[in-house]
Amino acid sequence: MSTTNKNNTETNSFYGFPPKIVLTFIAILLLLSGVSLGMALSGSKSIDLPIIKKSDNSKSEPANSYKIGKYQVGEVLSRLKVDTKRFEQCLDKGETEDRVDEDFKEGAQAGIQGTPGGVIFDRETKNSIAFPGAVSASNLETILQDLKDGKTDTGDNSLKVAEPDPEKDHWRGSKEARYVLIEYSDLECPFCQRFHPEASKFVSENEDVAWVYRHFPLRGIHPDAQKLAEGAECVYDQKGSDGFWQFIDYVFENSAS
């Protein structure tokens, strides 16, 4: 009886090891030899797998989330169909920086110290009266009437601003208008934001008044103001005066949020 068991045991083993262990060992040897052969064929160098890159469709789509500093302007860029790649290049390279700086220097020489600042200018008499900050549309009406009555600023109250130029300035309203509201403004200024709809109302209710917008970014206290101003000019380069004013309107209408 014991002889039969011994023969069965020897038949179901390989040098004393169970068949399953032997088969597992052989499989491991085959796997290792395959790896070694592959390394040898490749000159003992590791094989680099191809890197799969995600497709980038952002260049062909409007940058709805585009920001200048903390200001979300993607919506207006998309609405105006601005080429965002060109717009970003314009900003990054500072292509419109000189225009903004020129406005600022002119304003400083004229006596502008804060924003909003400027005058209502009579193009016939060359007289002007300054408006004292973020005044209401009714205050602007009073200033306009004083100017029509022949009053003008003198001495320390006067601002020697450059005359409005229909070919150079950003103009809203008739270019034949006798009176021009010349505003030096900062797109990050909360007082300018408050003044903007008042000025818009004033100009829309007076056909003989036009509006000229000039940049005066207070960079010391408003870190995004310079680039916002340059951005407005970059939009102008692509979409003209209408695009410029829509950008300005949008920034002021949405800056609270």
What does pTM read for this prediction?
A: 0.75
pLDDT band for position 48 (cuts 50, 70, 90): very low
pLDDT score recorded for residue 111:
95
* pLDDT computed for residue 21 by the predictor: 57
pLDDT tens profile 183-207: 999 999 999 999 999 999 999 999 9
By the 10 Å C-beta count (0-12 exposed, 13-18 middle, 19+ buried), 115 is classed as buried
Ranges 38-47, 81-90, 136-145, 187-196: which has the least confidence: 38-47
Q: Are 115 and 186 in contact (CB under 8 A)?
A: yes
Q: For residue 158, what are the CA distances in angstroms to 99, 123, 145, 151, 185?
A: 25, 16, 17, 12, 18
pLDDT of residue 60: 43
By CB neighbour count within 10 A (0-12 exposed, 13-18 middle, 19+ buried), where does 101 fall? middle
The mean-pLDDT minimum among 148-162, 203-217, 221-235 falls in: 148-162
Q: Is the pLDDT of residue 247 over 60?
A: yes
Q: What pLDDT, on a 0 to 100 scale, did the predictor assign at position 256? A: 59
The per-residue pLDDT for range 122-162, each reduced to its tens digit, is: 999 999 999 999 999 999 999 999 999 999 998 777 899 99
The encoded tokens of residue 34 equal: 């395959």
Kindly state the tokens that stand for 89: 């290049």
Best CA proximity match to 242, nearest among 182, 171, 169, 183: 171
Percentage of residues of the chain with pLDDT beyond 90: 71
- Looking at residues 236-242, what average pLDDT do you find? 98
Residue 154 confidence (pLDDT): 81
Copy the structure tokens of residue 31.
Answer: 């796997």
10 pLDDT higher than 90 = no
Q: pLDDT-derived band of residue 23, with 50, 70 and 90 as boundaries?
A: low
Per-residue pLDDT at 19: 58
Per-residue pLDDT at 30: 55
